[in-house]
Chains A and B, each alone.
Chain A
Amino acid sequence: MIKSWFRREFLTPRRLFFNVLFYGTQLAIFAVGWYLQETNKRLAALNQLTYSVWVSRGAGLTLAFDAGLLLIPMLRNVIRVVRPKLRWLLPIDENIWFHRQVAYSLAFWAMVHTTAHYVNFFNVERTQVRRLSALDIHYTQAGGITGHFMLFIMLLMYTTAHHKIRHQCFEAFWYTHHLAFFFFLALYSHATGCFVRDSVQPDYIKSFPFYSTQHCLGYESWRFIIWPGIAYFVERIYREYRARRETTLSKVLVHPSGAMELRIIKPDFKYTAGQWLFLQVPELSRWQWHPFTITSAPEDPYVSVHIRQVGDWTQALGERLGCGPPVVAAMTKVAMDGVEKEDGFTGTRRDFVELDTDSVTRPSPRVRIDGPYGAPAEDVFDNEVAILIGAGIGVTPFASILRHIWYRQQRGSVGSLRKVEFFWVCRDAPSFGWFQSLLHEIELSQSDPNFLRINIYLTQKVKENMFWNIVVNDPGAEYDPLTLLHTRTMFGRPDWKRIYRRMQEAIEFGQYLPGREAQLRTRVGTYFCGPSALAAAIKEATQQHTTQSVAFSFSKEHF
């Protein structure tokens, strides 16, 4: 375990670089904070406390740095804008991961800082460098009160942010995390008590910031770290304002597999393929925003999301729209039975049902959308070959990307993109029927049979009736009996190493991309969305097979 930890943190160049930079900076700031306190002649009185005061000042300065960094990865809109420009520099889609790393550091330095201050105040009381008791400083001065308050908020925020709690009750995490507002108020006012001073009494003044910097000799770090806080606050207000712009729910479609498709019209909503948004239905919950992948292409006149009724919020939404769980359950059951006999194999799956907003007794609910955000798949067109891999529900972003590619193909502007390999690994293909109908449309419209290749892997154990269905219907049929696509479904887990090795060989022999310039390096971009264990396996395969002439890259979509 230690060996693999060491390998992950220190033997991967990028991670090593991050660790050295991130933790190195923190240690350097700690050292600076320590040094400036120890060598400041004006603070000679405080320096009688020796190590504890040096440690507390150093850790305090590091905490200020961490707290300033904490909100930067959460500036979603800023990230969306700078993302394309900074992608080469840092893995900007790992913003939440970075937020967590900063939070862990923050907890560590808070421990150091608090421990040192407990010693400081103990010694202040003992030696009476100031005529105060330790508890006076702890519980009557601004620094002490805000400090204990922040520790308490951290207890609540960190414990509810544990991934187990977040997964079982997202609301507990989401609402508790808004205590951050009070945390930051306390943080910015933590130094207002003029604790670090060369005068006997705190030197308060009438005007902002209400203490004089002539005698109050703190590091004034709040002047720098308040800006990310203000930026974040402004961004939240802006998001709220933008979400209130005119939005109408124009259509609700129910697919036979049970997925609801919401078509939303919002004129000022601009996005690129593969991005996602937050959806709110105030009638169901005034505060909850739910993330969904956009499934329409930017060229479409509407924004659509596909929603499966799996949680209580999505079920309530279905209920409200008049296609609640019982209705859908019946439809899903039919769809799950796989390929219905009565449908025959005419090539199309039964169509979706459109819910007419007039026929439903209640008018359709107001909706709000916030976004778009994220998605590494924006840069698909910079590659010669794009490998799109969706696992399970992780296939949703590719709906938008495939549609977008299709639109661009129609216009004849696919950039350097020559070939798209689409992999779909899933346990139960029939439950994603809506996606199949989309694939079907795209497959039909392909003029160049070599441009898009669809590979579907079904990992589920095949039931007996499904097995007979395949045996009876598959040989010689034009369409695959399970997915009704030309493409045959493959069974079992894909062997990624073999797939990548074959692709690398095929490209190098020039079979794969006819007319490829041999001296140019072929760029093959992999875009993956799904569980992280699978991501690791695929990433390893891409790294292994990168050669002089073929460069495989890998990026992972985050929900």
Chain B
Amino acid sequence: MGKLIWHELSRYVSLTASIYAVWASFWGVFFRKFFWDFAGGILRDPGGIQPNPRISVFITLIVGIPVIQIMTIAIGLVIIALEWPFAPITRIAFHRSIPVRIILLIFQAVLAALLYQGTNAALWSLVAVGFYVIALGLNEKIAGSTGKVHRAGHP
């Protein structure tokens, strides 16, 4: 068996999941829907789904003002900047930390899972988390940037 470097695989999964999260949340701003609104909600014709008033906080944060959507876009962009990596971010000390990535990805998964459009992004983020956890278990280290212009993705 060739030796698979898990954090390198995870980087591609994490990038894909985060780009998906940004794209999905962008559409979520225009088509606002809380994913879990079926819980206790009633489907009415006409009118569509009528959410349970007990979850109105989510309805306010997603349908009222798209706060969750904007937060997901923000965190997605942060992860993309970290993974790509975006040159200025390589000056930050922890830009190579796997635990930081895991935490950000869990946040992204939780936020995206609240959105109608975000379930795949949430699931894929968790896959990336899983791969990063394996990488941690194998004591893998993310190789340092040379400080020069980064050409990530280019061999």
Contact = CB atoms under 8 A, between A and B. Distances in A.
A40 interface: no
Nearest to B131: A159
25 contacts: A115-B27, A118-B24, A118-B31, A118-B116, A122-B116, A125-B49, A126-B48, A128-B43, A128-B48, A131-B43, A131-B45, A133-B49, A134-B33, A151-B120, A152-B124, A155-B13, A158-B12, A158-B16, A159-B13, A165-B9, A169-B2, A169-B5, A172-B2, A172-B9, A311-B2
Contacts of A127: 46, 48
B92 interface: no
Closest 8 CB pairs of A and B: A169-B2, A169-B4, A159-B12, A128-B45, A126-B48, A122-B31, A172-B4, A125-B48
Given A119-B27, A168-B8, A312 B46 contact: no
Given A118-B117, A164-B8, A171-B1, 8 more contacts: A118-B31, A125-B49, A135-B35, A135-B38, A155-B124, A155-B127, A159-B16, A168-B2
B29 to A, nearest CB: 13
A163 interface: yes
Nearest to A313: B1
A286 interface: no
Interface of A: 111, 115, 118-119, 122, 125-128, 131-135, 148, 151-152, 155, 158-160, 162-165, 168-172, 311-312
B116 A152 contact: no
A69 to B, nearest CB: 23
Contacts of A132: 43
Contacts of A163: 155
Task: Name the residue among B27, B35, B46, B48 with the largest chain A CB count within 10 angstroms.
Answer: B48
A444 to B, nearest CB: 41
B31 to A, nearest CB: 5
Interface string B33-68: 101001000011111110000000000000000000
A127 B33 CA distance: 14
B122 to A, nearest CB: 12
A118 B27 contact: yes
Given A115-B23, A118-B117, A168 B1 contact: no
A168 B5 contact: yes
A170 B46 CA distance: 54
B127 to A, nearest CB: 7
B75 interface: no
Contacts of B38: 133, 135
